[in-house]
Structure 1
Amino acid sequence: MIIEFPYGKESLKLDVGEERLQGILLSKLHGYEAAMRQEELVENALRHPVGSPGLSSLADGKKKVVLIASDHTRPVPSKLMVPAMLRDIREGNPDAEITILIATGCHRGTTEDELISKFGSDIVRNEHICIHDCDDRLNMVKIGTLPSGGECFINRIAVEADLLVSEGFIEPHFFAGFSGARKSVLPGVASRETVLANHCSEFITHPKARTGILEGNPIHRDMVWAARKAGLAFILNVVINSRKEIIHAVAGDMEESHVQGCRFLDGLCRVEARPADIVISTNGGYPLDQNIYQAVKGMTAAEVTVRKGGVIIMVSRSEDGHGGEGFFHQMADEPDIYRTMDLFLSRGRNETVADQWQTQIFIRVLQKAHVIFVSQAPDRMVRALHMIPAHSLQEAMAEAEALIGRHHATVTAIPDGVSVIVVQ
Structure 2
Amino acid sequence: MKSIHLKYGKDGYILGLPDGLNITLIHPPFQKISEFPKVNYEDDQLLKNKILDLKKNISDLSIGISINDKTRPVPYQHLLPDLLKHIHSFGIDNHQITFFIANGTHIPEEPKTQTHIPDFIKANYEIISHNCDNRTNIQYLGVTSRGTPVFINRLFMNCDIKIAVGNIEPHHFAGYSGGVKSVAIGLAGRETILKNHKLLVTDEAKACNFLTNPLRQDIEEIGTFSSLDFCLNSIKDSENNLIQVLWGNPSEVLNKAIPIVDSLFLTKIKHKFDVVIASAGGYPKDINLYQAQKAVTNAAKITKKSGLVVLVAECREGSGSLAYENYMKKFSSPFEIIQEYEQGKFEIGPHKALQFAFIQTQLKVGLFSSMDTEIVKSLLLFPISNLNNYINEMFLLNKNLSVAIMTDAVITIPKEGA
Structure 1 partner of 2:163: 165
Q: How many Å apart are 1:16 and its aligned residue?
A: 5.6
Q: Quick check: 1:272 aligned with 2:268?
A: yes
Q: How many Å apart are 1:387 and its aligned residue?
A: 2.1
Unmatched 5+ residue regions in structure 2? none
**Distance (whole Å) between structure 2 residues aligned to residue 290 and residue 70 of structure 1:** 15
Structure 1 vs Structure 2 CA RMSD:
2.4
**Distance (whole Å) between structure 2 residues aligned to residue 382 and residue 363 of structure 1:** 14
Measured against aligned partners, the alpha-carbon deviations of 1:310-347 in whole angstroms (never above 9, x if no partner) come to 11111122343322222223334210221211211332
2:17 to 15, 23, 26: 15
Query: For residue 406 of structure 2, what is the amino acid of its counterpart?
Result: I
**Distance (whole Å) between structure 2 residues aligned to residue 383 and residue 123 of structure 1:** 41
Q: Quick check: 1:372 aligned with 2:366?
A: yes
DSSP-derived class of the 2:361 partner: helix
Alpha carbons of 1:144 and 1:290: their partners in 2 closer, same or farther (altered >3 Å)?
Answer: same
Query: For residue 230 of structure 1, what is the amino acid of its counterpart?
Result: S
State whether residues 21 and 395 of structure 2, in contact with CA within 8 Å, keep that contact through their aligned partners in structure 1: no
State whether residues 298 and 410 of structure 2, in contact with CA within 8 Å, keep that contact through their aligned partners in structure 1: yes
DSSP-derived class of the 2:207 partner: coil
**Distance (whole Å) between structure 2 residues aligned to residue 134 and residue 93 of structure 1:** 33
State whether residues 5 and 12 of structure 2, in contact with CA within 8 Å, keep that contact through their aligned partners in structure 1: no
Q: Report the more deviating stretch, 164-173 or 383-392.
A: 383-392
State whether residues 7 and 284 of structure 1, in contact with CA within 8 Å, keep that contact through their aligned partners in structure 2: yes
Superposition map of 1:384-403 within 5 A: 384-397=378-391, 400=394
Q: How many Å apart are 1:302 and its aligned residue?
A: 0.9
Q: How many Å apart are 1:56 and its aligned residue?
A: 3.4
**Distance (whole Å) between structure 1 residues aligned to residue 258 and residue 407 of structure 2:** 22
**Distance (whole Å) between structure 2 residues aligned to residue 360 and residue 394 of structure 1:** 29
Q: Report the more deviating stretch, 159-168 or 93-102.
A: 93-102
Normalised by the length of structure 1, the TM-score is: 0.88
Query: For residue 417 of structure 1, what is the amino acid of its counterpart?
Result: A
DSSP-derived class of the 2:255 partner: helix
**Distance (whole Å) between structure 1 residues aligned to residue 18 and residue 408 of structure 2:** 17
Q: How many Å apart are 1:243 and its aligned residue?
A: 5.7
**Distance (whole Å) between structure 2 residues aligned to residue 65 and residue 376 of structure 1:** 41
Q: Quick check: 1:70 aligned with 2:64?
A: no
2:121 to 98, 120, 123: 123
**Percentage of pairs with the same residue:** 26
Structure 1 partner of 2:213: 217
**Distance (whole Å) between structure 2 residues aligned to residue 244 and residue 154 of structure 1:** 31
Alpha carbons of 1:295 and 1:100: their partners in 2 closer, same or farther (altered >3 Å)?
Answer: closer
**Distance (whole Å) between structure 1 residues aligned to residue 387 and residue 67 of structure 2:** 39
**Distance (whole Å) between structure 2 residues aligned to residue 272 and residue 323 of structure 1:** 32
Structure 2 partner of 1:97: 96
Query: For residue 209 of structure 1, what is the amino acid of its counterpart?
Result: A
Alpha carbons of 1:149 and 1:399: their partners in 2 closer, same or farther (altered >3 Å)?
Answer: farther
Structure 1 partner of 2:175: 177
Structure 2 partner of 1:299: 296
**Distance (whole Å) between structure 1 residues aligned to residue 316 and residue 84 of structure 2:** 38
Structure 1 partner of 2:257: 261
Alpha carbons of 1:81 and 1:159: their partners in 2 closer, same or farther (altered >3 Å)?
Answer: same
Q: Report the more deviating stretch, 64-73 or 411-420.
A: 64-73
**Distance (whole Å) between structure 2 residues aligned to residue 84 and residue 209 of structure 1:** 35
Q: How many Å apart are 1:147 and its aligned residue?
A: 2.5
**Distance (whole Å) between structure 2 residues aligned to residue 241 and residue 64 of structure 1:** 34
Alpha carbons of 1:294 and 1:16: their partners in 2 closer, same or farther (altered >3 Å)?
Answer: farther
Measured against aligned partners, the alpha-carbon deviations of 1:82-138 in whole angstroms (never above 9, x if no partner) come to 2222222233453693222221212222324434x3343333232232222211111
State whether residues 103 and 185 of structure 1, in contact with CA within 8 Å, keep that contact through their aligned partners in structure 2: yes
Q: How many Å apart are 1:398 and its aligned residue?
A: 5.2
Structure 1 partner of 2:143: 145
State whether residues 297 and 418 of structure 1, in contact with CA within 8 Å, keep that contact through their aligned partners in structure 2: yes
**Distance (whole Å) between structure 2 residues aligned to residue 318 and residue 355 of structure 1:** 16
DSSP-derived class of the 1:110 partner: coil
Q: Quick check: 1:409 aligned with 2:411?
A: no
**Distance (whole Å) between structure 1 residues aligned to residue 264 and residue 187 of structure 2:** 30
State whether residues 296 and 358 of structure 1, in contact with CA within 8 Å, keep that contact through their aligned partners in structure 2: yes
State whether residues 280 and 315 of structure 1, in contact with CA within 8 Å, keep that contact through their aligned partners in structure 2: yes
Structure 2 partner of 1:289: 286
Q: Quick check: 1:229 aligned with 2:228?
A: no
**Distance (whole Å) between structure 1 residues aligned to residue 26 and residue 260 of structure 2:** 18
Unmatched 5+ residue regions in structure 1? none
Alpha carbons of 1:162 and 1:290: their partners in 2 closer, same or farther (altered >3 Å)?
Answer: closer
Alpha carbons of 1:70 and 1:295: their partners in 2 closer, same or farther (altered >3 Å)?
Answer: closer
Superposition map of 1:49-64 within 5 A: 53-60=45-52, 61=55, 63-64=61-62
Q: How many Å apart are 1:309 and its aligned residue?
A: 0.7
Q: How many Å apart are 1:390 and its aligned residue?
A: 1.6
Q: Quick check: 1:328 aligned with 2:328?
A: no
Superposition map of 1:346-361 within 5 A: 346-347=343-344, 352-361=346-355
State whether residues 102 and 131 of structure 1, in contact with CA within 8 Å, keep that contact through their aligned partners in structure 2: yes
Query: For residue 153 of structure 1, what is the amino acid of its counterpart?
Result: F
DSSP-derived class of the 2:301 partner: helix
Query: For residue 179 of structure 1, what is the amino acid of its counterpart?
Result: S
DSSP-derived class of the 2:358 partner: helix
Q: How many Å apart are 1:206 and its aligned residue?
A: 0.6
Structure 1 partner of 2:35: 36
Normalised by the length of structure 2, the TM-score is: 0.89
State whether residues 239 and 265 of structure 1, in contact with CA within 8 Å, keep that contact through their aligned partners in structure 2: yes
**Distance (whole Å) between structure 2 residues aligned to residue 205 and residue 170 of structure 1:** 22
Q: How many Å apart are 1:281 and its aligned residue?
A: 0.5
Tell me the number of residue pairs that the alignment of Structure 1 and Structure 2 aligns: 406
State whether residues 232 and 246 of structure 2, in contact with CA within 8 Å, keep that contact through their aligned partners in structure 1: yes
Query: For residue 190 of structure 1, what is the amino acid of its counterpart?
Result: A
**Distance (whole Å) between structure 2 residues aligned to residue 90 and residue 319 of structure 1:** 39
